[in-house]
Structures are given as C-alpha cells and as structure tokens.
Amino acid sequence: MQVDMVSINKQFPEAFDQSSKPLLAHFGIDAPDIMISDLVLDSRDVAIHKAFIAINGHALDGRDFIPQAVSLGAKIIVAQCDDMANHGHVEMREQSVIVSFYQLAEKLSELAGHFYQFPANLMSVIAVTGTNGKTSTVQLTSQLAFLMGEQAASIGTLGAGMYSSSAEFQAQQNTVNTTPDAISMQRLLAEFVNEGAFQVALEASSHALKQNRIKALKTDIAVFTNLSRDHLDYHGSMAEYGLAKRLLLKQPGLAYAVLNANDPEHKNWLANIPETTSVVLYGQNINAADMPSEYQYCVANNVRYTAEGIALSLKSSWGDCELRLSLLAEFNVANVLAAICSQLCLGKNIKQIAYIVQKLKPVAGRMELYCRQNHATIVVDYAHTPDALEKALLATKQHCHGKLFCVFGCGGDRDVGKRSLMGEIAERLADHVILTDDNVRSENPKDIIQDILSGCINPEQILVEHDRKTAIKIAAKQASAGDMILVAGKGHENYQIIGNQTLAYDERQFVALFQEGKKV
C-alpha cells in the first residue's frame, strides 16, 4: 500500500467565515445563524465575530472566562457542559449567545476541522510520537521532503513553519506546547495548505493525544520512536504513559505505522495495529532476513562513526544502498531511518533518498557541534530526560578522543524522580560534571542540585555553578584540545525561566560566540 500524493486545492479558502448554524448542526445543535470569522480558546483574543470556545482544560476552566468574553462583545460562545441533557441549550447573556456543548473538549478537534474544512485531507500528514527523538525526526522528515523537491511543513517543539530555499527551518509561529491545541492545529494546517505545502510532519505528545488535540486529523503515517521515563507526574505510570502514546494508532485514515524495532515497546504497538494499517519496522544492527514477512522494513548495519559524521549500510523492502550522514550520534541513525521510512511510504525513490540524505543538516539544539582550533569542542543538546542524557553522553563519547565534560541541570516544578537518575548517568559516563541551573521556575535551585547529587556516588567531586554561562566557561577553561563538552538541557530554547520571569538566554548563540573567541 502506498499513500497517494494529494493535489493542493487552489480554491482552498484563505478566510473561513461561516455561519454557526451549519457548523454546530454537525453535532446535533440547532444554533442561531451567527457569522463566525475564527475560533478562539483565549478570552483575551475575543472579537465580535470570533467564537469563544470555553472548555474545561487541564489547567484552567474556560467557562470561568465567559463574563470576560461577553464584555469583549463575543456574538457567540460555545461552552462545554457536563450534563448531556443540556447539549444544545441556547441562552442569551447581554448581546452574546451561549451554546452548551457536551464533551466539547473531546470533540474540539472535529469542531475545528469542520470550521477550517479539514485541511489535513489536502496533504500528507506524518505524526511522530515517543519520549525522545520526536523533534529531530519531525525536522529531518520535513527537511528530507524539501530537499527532494516537495513543499514541506513541520509542527512541534521548534515551532510551526516551512523549510526555506536554504533548507533551513523557518518557524513562522511559536508553539506554547509541543503539540498545539486542537484549534491552532487545524488553523496551522489550513495556513500551510494555502502556502502550498504537500506534506506536514508533526510532533504528537502524550499530553496532546490524551487531550484529543489531534483526534480529528487525518493521519497518513504514525511514527513511534521510543518509550522511556518522562511525564509520570501527568500519566501516573509507565503503563498509562505507553497507552497514551498508542492512542496515535486510532487516528483516522492511518495507512502506515512506522515503528522502532530496537525499542521493546514496539511489540505493544504491533499488538494494537488496526487491520487497515500497514507496518514498517526500522532499526539498527538487525538482520534483514530475520524481519517478519508480513512487515516492511528498513534497517541499518555496519554503522561507522567518523569525524565527518556517520556512514552505514541500509537494507530495506524498497532496496539496499550505502548512506553517508553529516550528523552525529547513534540515535540520529534511528531518527534518519524513521524519516526515510516515512518518505518511502509516500512513494519516494530509495536511490534518490540515498543521494539526498547526505545533505541533511542537524536540527537546531540537537547534538550541534561548535568547534574552535586548539580548544575543546562543545556540543549543545536538548537532552533533559535520563534516557536522552545517557544517549547524548554515549554519542559524544563515540566522537571524543580526549576527556568528556558534561554541563547540565534539571527543570523545576517537573518530575523530581528523574533528577537523581540524571546525576548517576552524568557521573558514570562523563569524566567531569558541572551542575548548573536549567528552568528552575518556582523551585529553589539549590534543592534541585541536591536532588541531582543524591544520585551520585562521589558528589563532592562534582562542581556546582548556578550561572549557566559561567558553568560553560569553567568547563572550557578546564578542558583541552581533543576534549569535548556536552552542554545539555536547553538546546534550541532562547530563554531561561527563573521564578516567574522568562529571561532571554540563547545557549546556541552564546556557545557560538564563545567558540569564535568573542567576549561573552
């Protein structure tokens, strides 16, 4: 089975003005005939013809802001109700019509889909989920599509946008969450269709899947990268976390499930594959002959790590070839394999892919190398989970001929249990560890450091410097040419959250200037 490439409908509207009556009729509601120009979740964005959608969210109850929406002149407010008997109830409050909608949060993706005319139906949609690797896989997937001559967009941690003529990702909008809310997601896809995108790759976080943010999105390909400890403060257990990830298999129109065969969790995915969905397995150091005959596959063997990047031998259901990548780290092999599988499912040629992949650039803040002659090399990576930190350190070791330094911290108001694990990993794999502050938020940074140190055998040998820039400078001063310094946790982020302040801090820019010998 191959996903047919769609032709963009040039008549797809740039504006979505429509009446509330037919829009809500899809859900059995007889609403007044009121013209709507857009849907908004934030009452501060309300205007006369923008419908305020008041849902009971995870952090806030939008219904508490109905008075504000009324005062701002909202003509229509669609509000979640808790009793099915009240579904479709209409009341007037001053000049505003308030329509009650049962299970609105669950059906919001579908409501937004009807309003924006289901833009996902006019493009190929690739949704990527997993604890680690989502951002890199999404970016590499879209970058690969672009390099092969296709207008491609991506949505995720780095923002929402399209690739430019220089094959650089241009974030046109920032995303507050890894996966935007249901309305923003449908709106973004509609905008991408209008800009000529044929393909979009998006990050599907476990929170988003659990909260139905992409529930009504036609999804051609679901990609599973891996599963390791994270977000247990939200999901409660690894079993529930894994179950949330597998909700991606319930997406409408799912043609392919692309699964990482190196991760044991992929077997749980195989046990839940819909009958109409084909499976593609990818992985490293797997004998192609051992692959189950009912699945397609794409496996890498004879992987070599060099100063210039990675070389490997690829065997797949579509043919065999040799690949060269200008990327670092073993896990980037997995990320590239997932990207390749997605493009193969969409009908791309394996030989063309083999030629193009060597042009792939590293994703911003993901194992980015900053070199300086006669000085240590610095690697900036977003790793902020135990599994990601371990992989980043092991990857850096593969390319390091001297001592390995690690500079990192942990975020405040987040999973406390992972801190000691990350301390143990850093102490075990790095020759020198310097602990510093990440996004401490409302916590005392000293408490966070103590949590990290509790996982270390020799905490007295670990240096603590709360100022992040100073910590990097100390590591660089202690290191020599041939050594490598992994600075983990911030990656692409251009801010640092301390208390209730979000301060400007671009670690990539700071390290780049520092390695150029600039005074920073």
Which residues does the annotation place in the binding site for ATP?
130-136
Contact 178, 157 (CB under 8 A): yes
CB 233 within 8 A of CB 415: yes
Q: Which helix (H) or strand (E) holds 267?
A: helix 266-270
User: Do 102 and 196 touch, CB atoms closer than 8 A?
Assistant: no
Contact criterion met (CB below 8 Å) for 473 and 518: no
For residue 199, list its beta bridge partners.
124, 152
The CA angle 273-387-326, to the nearest 5 degrees, is 85
Q: Is 362 helix (H, G, I), strand (E, B) or coil?
A: coil
Residue 238, classified by CB atoms within 10 Å of its CB into exposed (0-12), middle (13-18) or buried (19+), is: middle
- The token pair that represents 104 in the structure block: 């609105």
Give bridge partners of residue 434 from the DSSP assignment. Answer: 407, 463
Q: Which residues pair with 20 in a beta bridge?
A: none
Nearest alpha carbon to residue 448 among 479, 483, 408, 496:
408
Q: Bridge partners of 79?
A: 54, 100
Dihedral, 358, 364, 368, 374 alpha carbons, nearest 10: 110
Tokens of 405: 């330094």
- Residues belonging to the chain: 520
Residue type present at position 454: S
Long-range contacts of 512-520 (CB under 8 A, 24+ apart): 512/370, 514/370, 514/378, 514/472, 514/473, 514/476, 515/370, 515/371, 515/372, 515/375, 515/378, 516/372, 517/372, 520/469
Instruction: Write out the binding residues.
Output: 41, 43, 130-136, 173, 178-179, 205, 211, 213
Show the DSSP H helices in 148-218 as ranges.
182-194, 206-210
Phi, psi of 112 (to 5 degrees): -65, -35
Identify the residue whose tokens are 């975020």. Answer: 411
